[in-house]
Structure formats: structure tokens, C-alpha cells
Structure 1
Amino acid sequence: MTLQELLQFKHPIFLAPMAGVTTPQLAAEVCNAGGLGALGLGASTPAQALQQILATQALTDAPFQVNFFCHQSTELDAAQGQAWLDYMAPFFSRYHVTPPTALSCIYPSFLDNDDYLKVVLETRPKAVSFHFGLPHPQQIQALKAAGIVTMVSATNLIEAKAIEAAGIDVIIAQGIEAGGHRGVFNQAVDSAITTKDLVQLFKAHCQLPIVAAGGIMNGQHAAKMLNLGASAVQMGTAFIQCKSSNASLAYREALFQQPITQITSSISGRPARGLVNHWHTQVDQPERPTVPPYPYTYDLAKQLHQTASAQDEHHFAAFWAGTRVAHIRALEAADLINLVMLEMKMPS
């Protein structure tokens, strides 16, 4: 069965499930334009996830994916946490506020319990995707028994083979160009492979359908991935500027003003690519202490951004974006999909 038959989309364009950015409205607009819409639910509570899925289902009859995080939850080392709090304290002092004195685990993992799984089984979206790792075997079996298509991000061949061995249906090939968090779960190394090379590598060594993700902003980019063997492309940065996304006005404006991105783990505790700002130019100094694990570090980053933005300063924002952000166009979802499809048919 082809990926198109499996997921029943008209156009091979997937909306990336960006937590905090995707909305039921944006997901439905992509679906109704023939693509595969998405909800990034990793930062949502189970109740919020349920609400978003139901809201999307009320806006479209077309299939869409929902996404969760499968990070390995860890206890925070007290000394490491305190060292990070001490290092970041001066940045809070700039805004004349008292720095935080503790770090919280703000995002649970899909692996921690079956609360998110119950929401998915109750609402039955067409597909569920995972970032940062694989669900437990019994969770995968429950999803398969319910007829829900499963997808997992891979950043290297070892991860792709693990995805295939686990019985997952689709591999999302996330290249180094992708905006937002790297989906690395083979923690031995971040291979930093480009999307183009990942697609070719997975096509040569894996049997599962491949979705290319990372640095895809227009039809020419998409066509190259499909010609290399991808069954579809996943686009995130290109859709952030849509009015129906949850991105702030400052985020939208920055996408058109700042064409350079960089990866840092200082914002969340995991490597992630975003627009260059104070995290990259001021926080990531040689004397920076070891960053606490995800999502404890993210707790502090969100507090710092909230503090700064309250004073109309956005240099500590997590404005995630991919390497080709300079190619962004001001288009609503349906128009963007139609243009990408037209560009795919044009000679390069």
C-alpha cells in the first residue's frame, strides 16, 4: 500500500506538527486544501489534546496527524540545575525581576503513562506521529489494533532501522535543516545529515514509506525530495506565518526579517534550530555550564522570554525556523499548498 493510500491525502504535503504553533484551524485548512494537517500536542495536557482533536474533527472530514513527544523522562540533578539557574540569573536581572529558584518538568512524555494514548484511541485521528523516540511496544500495538497509522522522526539510519523493527508504518526523515527540535533518540551522536541525504539513505536501506522534513519551503524543494524517493514532504516554517497559526506577531515578523538560523540546546535542553538571537550570541558562551535535561531547561527559557516580552523585547524567544527561512512567502495555507503544487510541476 502506498503512503497516499494509507493516509488518504490528495497532495503529498504534510503540515509539520509544531507544538505551540499549530491550531485546529490551521490543521483543517491544510486538510481541506488536500494536504495532511497536523496538531503538535506534545506541550498539551491530555484534556487540551482532546479538545484540539475534537475541534479539528469539527472543521474537517479529511485525515490529519497528531504528534506527541517520546523523550526519556529523567530526574533533574540538583547541582546541575542550580549551576544553570546561577548562570542565567544575570539575564533575568536585566529586566529587574527576581530569577527563578527552581526548574520544573513542564512536559510529560507519551512514555510516562497512557493518558495521551487513551485520548488518541478515543478520538481516532487517522495518524499519530512521535518525536524524540519510539512509544512502548504495547502502545504501538494498541494504535495498530485501532487502525491508526504510526509515524516516527528519524535523524540517522540506526534510528530509521529501529523504527522499522518496532512495527511503525512511516519514517519521517528529519534533516539537519529542519526548524525546531531535532528528533534524535539515538543519543550516541547527532549525525547532522541533510534531508536530501537522509531520504536517499533510508530509501536504500529501509522498506517503509519516507516523509522528507527539513528545509523544504517551495515546490522546487519538494519535487527534489519526491524525485529522490520520498513519498511526501513535511513543511513547518513555511506555514508559521499563516494567520490561523498560533505564532505571535513578533514571531511572524521575525521570520521575514531574520534569514539566519542556528541550533542550540540552551533554550530547551535538546538541540533545536531557530532564528539567531541572544540564546546563540550571548548565552552560548564557552563558559556555559552543562545544560540541564529537557524539559527542565525549557521551563527557565519560557520564563525568561515571558519576562522579556512583557517589556516588548523578544531576543530570548524560541522562534523556531528552518535553514531556508529566507524563502518564506506571506500566504494562507490553501494558497501556499496550491502554489507549492504548481511549482512542483514547473521545470527546475
Structure 2
Amino acid sequence: MLEKMGLRWPIIQAPMAGVSTVQLAAEVSNAGGLGSIGIGATDAVGAFKMITELQALTDKLFNVNLFVHKAPTHDPAREAAWCEWLTPQFQAFDAEPPATLHALYTSFADDPDMLAMLLETRPPIISFHFGLPSHETINTLKGAGIFLLATATCLEEAREIERAGLDAIVAQGFEAGGHRGMFDPKASDTQLSTAALTRQLVHATHLPIIAAGGIMDGAGIAAALADGAMAAQLGTAFIACPESSADDAYRDALAGPAAHDTRMTSIVSGRPARILANRFANLMDDPSRPSMPDYPLTYAAGKALNAAAKTQQEHGFGAHWAGQGAPLARMMPAAQMVRVLGGELAAILEKT
């Protein structure tokens, strides 16, 4: 499968929306891994710009990631209660919460312009997070010769991906940083580790499995391969690379004590996501916290609060995504990271 995909190393850089950049993805792909960009947080125009820029920087394969979440249901009373609860936090920074909350992102399931743009640019690989688009859309993309992946956090989601006719499954363990790829964020979460989930999916499905979550070095990649994965997807490992868009506060937090205390929380966006421990994450423990609005309405409030805090040089409200392997983060250029990871993996495989 790796040979078919043209990869030198079984290393996939996670498509971290807001953190991964075109330059980061290009460097990873050119070094022999699979670079990725997340376009779920932009529209078709912005995504077209990102994809065409990436195509100009590499002739290697790359992945484009899309959010396929259910559109939010507006509940004015719930949204007002949420903003009222956050009001003291805003006022501490001489600001007020938004008067109304708007969906920041359009789901790919509801975005025909994005589909038309993808058919025009034809990225070699597309991955889905939070769910799957319609069978018609999947068949259209496959008909265009595009290799399709989707994230699964449990066996039921993996089987749905397999029934839909996709080409591979990303097994996202509970250790992973960023948003859980759960199809239904209100469903019970099995919280399976990357290793346990990978083993289950290798045995229970017929599709290639990509292990994701907590993998930071060649030893972690080797363990994923030993569990039956065809490749490993790493996100947190690439945050400290200079090509990522992480700001100085994010990088400092990743290099500090917070790396040893990541939190799975919904407070940032309304969906479960693992972040570095900070002031925002700690608010999750407030017993007076009301019910959250749907994703991404909660995210609109979170982004506004972070922007207000940053005007006062407070960086404890940022969405600093990171997995449980964060203490193992290393700062080096992305291409060097791929080579180091590949070298570590090769050294381990030579001993086995």
C-alpha cells in the first residue's frame, strides 16, 4: 500500500486545521512522508488557494482534510446562557461576549461549492473528520480518482466507513490531540487507546488502518506497525516545527509543564478535543457551567474570548491542541523531523 501511495516512510502528518500549513505539508511530502492540510475551517475560495499553492510546492502525494459535522441546531436560550456564563471572563479583559453566536464553519456535507472545487483541483487524497459525506459525494470523488480516508474512534464508525466504500481508516485513539473524530459527539465514547483501537480495526475490517494518537517517535511508529497499521499519523510531533502556524505562546506551552497535563474537553468548541491544560480548560470544572451550544457555535464564543484575552497578553484561553505524547515534542524543521522519524523507525526494524 505504501508503495502504491508513493511514500518512502509510513509517516502521515495530521491535518491540524489552524496549525498545519501549506509549507509544512509540502516539506513533509517532499521528505518522503504524507503531508496534510486541513481546509475544514475555510471556504471553497480559501481552500482552492491552499491546494493550488501546495500543488506548486510538491509533486508528491498530499492529503486534504474536511469536516463533515452535522449542522448546528440553534437554541437561543442555551446560547444566551452560555454567553452570560462567560461574561465575567470577557469583562476581565474589558470586553463583552458576542451578542449572537454564528457557525464558523460550513460542513462539507452542506457545501456544494467545496465539492466543485475539489473536483477541479483533484487533490490525490481526501480525508474526512466527524463523519462521512453522502454516498453520492463519495462515489463522485472516487470516480475522480481520489483516495479517500476517514477517521474512526470506534468499531461501529469504522464499519460505517468500510460500508461506504472508502479506501482506508484512520484509527484515532483517545490519546490524540485536537478534536475527537466521533460521528456523534453526544454518543458514549469508548475512549479506546490507539493500540487497542488499531488492533480491533485490523481484525474486524478489511481496510488498511492508519494509527493516530500519542505517536511521537520512531518507536511509536514501529509499535503501530506491529499492531497491524499500514502507517502512523502524527500531529503533535509537528506542532513545534517552524513551518507550523503555532504562535509563540502555543510553542511555549508545548515546551512547558502543560505538556504533561493535556485535557479532553468540549469547552473550547462544543466537541470533545484534547488540549494543553490552561485557564480555559479549567473552566470545564465550574459546577455552574450551563449546557453548551452545538459545535461550532460554542467555538465562536471560545475564539472571541481568546481574542479578547490576547489583547491583554493573556494566552491561557487558546485552543492549544496536543496529544498525550506532548512531552516528547521536538523542535526541528519538518523535513528533518521526517528523516529523524524514519531513521528511528529503520533502526528499530533492523533489530527485529
Same fold (TM over 0.5): yes
Of 31, 43, 46, which residue of structure 1 is paired with 2:44? Answer: 46
Q: Percent identity, aligned pairs only? A: 46
Q: Which residue of 1 aligns with 2:208?
A: 209
Q: How does 1:87-98 map to 2 (within 5 A)?
A: 87-98=85-96
| Letter in structure 2 aligned against 1:287 | S
User: 1:118 deviation in Å?
Assistant: 1.2
| Letter in structure 1 aligned against 2:229 | A
1:232 corresponds to 2:231? yes
Deviations 1:187-215 (A, max 9, x none): 53111100000110001100000000000
Q: Which residue of 1 aligns with 2:64?
A: 66
Indicate conservation of the 8 Å contact 2:97/2:304, yes or no: no
Question: The residue matched to 1:96 in structure 2 has which SS?
Answer: coil
Indicate conservation of the 8 Å contact 1:24/1:39, yes or no: yes
Residues in 1 aligned to 2:346 and 2:238: alpha-carbon distance in whole angstroms: 21
Question: The residue matched to 1:345 in structure 2 has which SS?
Answer: helix
Residues in 2 aligned to 1:48 and 1:104: alpha-carbon distance in whole angstroms: 19
**Mean alpha-carbon deviation: is it higher for 336-345 or for 46-55?**
336-345
Residues in 1 aligned to 2:49 and 2:318: alpha-carbon distance in whole angstroms: 27
Q: Do the aligned partners of residues 283 and 161 (structure 1) sit closer, same or farther apart at CA in structure 2, a change above 3 Å counting?
A: closer
Residues in 2 aligned to 1:145 and 1:130: alpha-carbon distance in whole angstroms: 17
Q: Which residue of 2 aligns with 1:274?
A: 275
Deviations 1:251-300 (A, max 9, x none): 11211112220011011000000000112223431221111110000001
Indicate conservation of the 8 Å contact 2:72/2:103, yes or no: no
Residues in 1 aligned to 2:224 and 2:265: alpha-carbon distance in whole angstroms: 26
Residues in 2 aligned to 1:55 and 1:6: alpha-carbon distance in whole angstroms: 24
Deviations 1:104-129 (A, max 9, x none): 11110000131111111111111000
User: 1:98 deviation in Å?
Assistant: 2.2
Of 3, 25, 37, which residue of structure 1 is paired with 2:35? Answer: 37
Residues in 1 aligned to 2:285 and 2:67: alpha-carbon distance in whole angstroms: 25
Indicate conservation of the 8 Å contact 1:7/1:149, yes or no: no
Q: Which residue of 1 aligns with 2:161?
A: 163
Q: Which residue of 2 aligns with 1:316?
A: 317
1:301 corresponds to 2:299? no
| Letter in structure 2 aligned against 1:202 | L
Residues in 2 aligned to 1:324 and 1:252: alpha-carbon distance in whole angstroms: 15
| Letter in structure 2 aligned against 1:199 | T
Indicate conservation of the 8 Å contact 2:194/2:211, yes or no: yes
Deviations 1:198-256 (A, max 9, x none): 11000110000000000000000110000110000000111011111111111112111
User: 1:74 deviation in Å?
Assistant: 2.4
Q: Which residue of 2 aligns with 1:292?
A: 293
Question: The residue matched to 1:111 in structure 2 has which SS?
Answer: helix
Residues in 2 aligned to 1:149 and 1:283: alpha-carbon distance in whole angstroms: 39
Indicate conservation of the 8 Å contact 1:266/1:284, yes or no: no
| Letter in structure 2 aligned against 1:174 | Q
Residues in 2 aligned to 1:284 and 1:118: alpha-carbon distance in whole angstroms: 43
Q: How does 1:6-45 map to 2 (within 5 A)?
A: 6-45=4-43
Q: Do the aligned partners of residues 293 and 164 (structure 1) sit closer, same or farther apart at CA in structure 2, a change above 3 Å counting?
A: same
1:242 corresponds to 2:246? no
Residues in 2 aligned to 1:218 and 1:169: alpha-carbon distance in whole angstroms: 26
1:193 corresponds to 2:192? yes
Any gaps of 5 or more consecutive residues in structure 1?
Answer: none
Residues in 1 aligned to 2:346 and 2:29: alpha-carbon distance in whole angstroms: 21
Instruction: Name the TM-score, length of structure 2 as normaliser.
Output: 0.96
Residues in 2 aligned to 1:19 and 1:48: alpha-carbon distance in whole angstroms: 13
| Letter in structure 2 aligned against 1:256 | A
Residues in 1 aligned to 2:276 and 2:131: alpha-carbon distance in whole angstroms: 25
Q: Which residue of 2 aligns with 1:124?
A: 122
Count of residues in Structure 1 that have an aligned counterpart in Structure 2: 346
Indicate conservation of the 8 Å contact 1:172/1:211, yes or no: yes
Q: Which residue of 1 aligns with 2:175?
A: 177
Question: The residue matched to 1:151 in structure 2 has which SS?
Answer: strand
Residues in 2 aligned to 1:206 and 1:227: alpha-carbon distance in whole angstroms: 17
Q: CA RMSD in A?
A: 1.1
1:100 corresponds to 2:101? no
Indicate conservation of the 8 Å contact 1:70/1:109, yes or no: yes
Shift >3 Å, 4+ stretches: none
Residues in 1 aligned to 2:95 and 2:294: alpha-carbon distance in whole angstroms: 25
| Letter in structure 2 aligned against 1:195 | T
Of 74, 81, 90, which residue of structure 2 is paired with 1:76? Answer: 74
| Letter in structure 2 aligned against 1:81 | E
Question: The residue matched to 1:10 in structure 2 has which SS?
Answer: coil
Deviations 1:22-80 (A, max 9, x none): 11111100000000010110001110000000000000000100001000002211111
| Letter in structure 2 aligned against 1:104 | H
Q: Which residue of 1 aligns with 2:327?
A: 326
Question: The residue matched to 2:108 in structure 1 has which SS?
Answer: coil
Question: The residue matched to 2:290 in structure 1 has which SS?
Answer: coil
Residues in 2 aligned to 1:160 and 1:199: alpha-carbon distance in whole angstroms: 11
Residues in 2 aligned to 1:306 and 1:283: alpha-carbon distance in whole angstroms: 19
Instruction: Name the TM-score, length of structure 1 as normaliser.
Output: 0.97
